[in-house]
A and B are shown apart, each in its own frame.
Chain A
């Protein structure tokens, strides 16, 4: 009987030790889980701040581009036209009333042109415009402006029902478009740029294709910051960027994004229509 009691006591001791060890193990596991959780959290926080920095950089770059455009327009166009108006209005004393009237009429037309140019300039593209007008309209204005300049021909096509993809996403997408446009103008020697914006139910595609000189596929890794920026920025808004190019075959940049996916760092908004 006594040995039976001893056996029970041994079982109680062993069982209690096992239970307490199990609890220690569970608590240890919780701490390990906490460590992983917090490391993931700090990574997310880091990514978030990186995203905000990148967004700020994008806004600054867009503002810089806008200012450059305004400065160029004022220097190359408005100043020139106004100088001409000034010269035109310096009517010599000998001029007949008809000649004077013709000069005044010419000057009036030129001033009207300047007013129009200034109006266009006031619609210059800043990131506030994307918020107000939406991606499609902003890109249309930009394409229109470039087409008017005659440097390159842009064809913009919108497929499906255009809708708001979220301020930050649209801002980044527009910046990608500007970067692609910049590359086409500076490096590719393209004469034609085809842009497609395709809105599907669960997918959005932005395709930018030029007919420039193109580049070998391997060059993408060694390319300047322009193309790398496109890929990095696309990743920041949860989009995939595919850049396809070959010598003599131009370049095609395809950005694919699922607007229904709420990317951690971008304020995706798929409820409102654009």
Chain B
């Protein structure tokens, strides 16, 4: 068994973040270093079977951590305080739903319902971010390619929107051990993770050009 392709993208993102540690810690992007360290550790633990035969409880926790981290990070980048407040409430509600779902269902089963709700919340936040980008005052030029926030949001949008239908059909197919579905899940995971972590790598590189 070899590591999933996406693991290498995660590793590249983490290494880039560590290389640019000084610059990253001048901004909130510094928070990505411990976050990526947790993600890479989780992948390594999965690979070395630390979670024994069922790592679903860890997936439930990691998806929650990912949701909290990305949603709060992007929400804090928004200019509109009104939307920040609305999204903070939505994030809280999403987290509460995840906890309640774990208590009602089981931590040993993948909580797809909360994962889908989390993805929807994040897609809303990213959409608002893009809308704010389009509201850039006409007195300042737009430099999307050089904006770390833009790359972060592109990656996050690809990741959560790409995984959405896969998670929606997870309960239906995963437990039947459908081979085609497993292949599909591997393909989608590889693509969405590769896009997310490539975008994160570019995002870290972009912090070199920006003053935050």
**Residues of A at under 8 Å CB distance from B?**
5-6, 8-9, 11-13, 15-16, 19-20, 22-23, 26-27, 30-31, 33-34, 37-38, 40-42, 44
Report the interface size class on chain B: 20 to 34
Q: In the assembled complex, which residues on chain B have CB atoms less than 8 Å from the CB atom of A40?
A: 138
Q: Which of B142, B162, B164, B181 contacts A38 (CB 8 A)?
A: B142
The complex places the Cα of A13 from the Cα of B168 at a distance, in Å, of 12
10 closest residue pairs by CB, A with B: A15-B165, A34-B142, A12-B165, A19-B161, A37-B142, A41-B141, A12-B169, A16-B165, A8-B169, A34-B144
* B184 close to A (CB within 8 Å): yes
The complex places the Cα of A42 from the Cα of B169 at a distance, in Å, of 49
Q: In the assembled complex, which residues on chain B have CB atoms less than 8 Å from the CB atom of A33?
A: 134, 142
- Report yes or no: B144 in contact with A30, Cβ–Cβ below 8 A: yes
Q: In the assembled complex, which residues on chain B have CB atoms less than 8 Å from the CB atom of A23?
A: 154, 157-158, 161
Least CB distance from A55 to B in Å reads 19
Q: Which of B136, B165, B181, B188 contacts A5 (CB 8 A)?
A: B181
The complex places the Cα of A30 from the Cα of B132 at a distance, in Å, of 11
Q: In the assembled complex, which residues on chain B have CB atoms less than 8 Å from the CB atom of A6?
A: 180
6 contacts between A and B (CB under 8 A): A5-B181, A9-B178, A11-B169, A12-B184, A16-B164, A41-B141
Total of A-B residue pairs, C-beta within 8 Å: 71
- Report yes or no: B172 in contact with A8, Cβ–Cβ below 8 A: yes
* B211 close to A (CB within 8 Å): no
Q: Which residue of chain A lies nearest to B188 when distances are taken between CB atoms in the complex?
A: A16
Least CB distance from B195 to A in Å reads 9
The complex places the Cα of A22 from the Cα of B136 at a distance, in Å, of 23
The complex places the Cα of A75 from the Cα of B39 at a distance, in Å, of 88
| Majority secondary structure of chain B interface residues (helix, strand, loop or mixed) | helix
Q: In the assembled complex, which residues on chain A have CB atoms less than 8 Å from the CB atom of B139?
A: 41, 44
Q: Which residue of chain B lies nearest to A35 when distances are taken between CB atoms in the complex?
A: B142
The complex places the Cα of A6 from the Cα of B188 at a distance, in Å, of 16
- Report yes or no: B162 in contact with A5, Cβ–Cβ below 8 A: no
Q: Which residue of chain B lies nearest to A36 when distances are taken between CB atoms in the complex?
A: B142
* B166 close to A (CB within 8 Å): yes
The complex places the Cα of A20 from the Cα of B163 at a distance, in Å, of 10
Least CB distance from A89 to B in Å reads 66
- Report yes or no: B178 in contact with A5, Cβ–Cβ below 8 A: yes
Q: Which residue of chain A lies nearest to B134 when distances are taken between CB atoms in the complex?
A: A33
- Report yes or no: B158 in contact with A5, Cβ–Cβ below 8 A: no
Q: Which residue of chain B lies nearest to A37 when distances are taken between CB atoms in the complex?
A: B142
* B61 close to A (CB within 8 Å): no
From 93 to 138 in chain B, residues with beta carbon under 8 angstroms from any chain A beta carbon are 130, 133-134, 136, 138
Least CB distance from B184 to A in Å reads 6
Q: In the assembled complex, which residues on chain B have CB atoms less than 8 Å from the CB atom of A31?
A: 144
Chain B 153-191 near chain A by CB (<8 Å), digits 1 or 0: 010011001101110110011001010110010001000
- Report yes or no: A9 in contact with B184, Cβ–Cβ below 8 A: yes
- Report yes or no: B173 in contact with A27, Cβ–Cβ below 8 A: no
Given A23-B157, A23-B158, A23-B161, 19 further pairs, Cβ under 8 A: A5-B181, A6-B180, A9-B169, A12-B165, A12-B169, A12-B184, A13-B184, A16-B164, A16-B188, A19-B164, A20-B162, A26-B130, A26-B157, A30-B144, A34-B144, A37-B138, A37-B141, A41-B140, A42-B141
Least CB distance from B188 to A in Å reads 6
Least CB distance from A172 to B in Å reads 22
- Report yes or no: B162 in contact with A16, Cβ–Cβ below 8 A: yes
The complex places the Cα of A42 from the Cα of B138 at a distance, in Å, of 10
- Report yes or no: A12 in contact with B134, Cβ–Cβ below 8 A: no
The complex places the Cα of A56 from the Cα of B139 at a distance, in Å, of 23
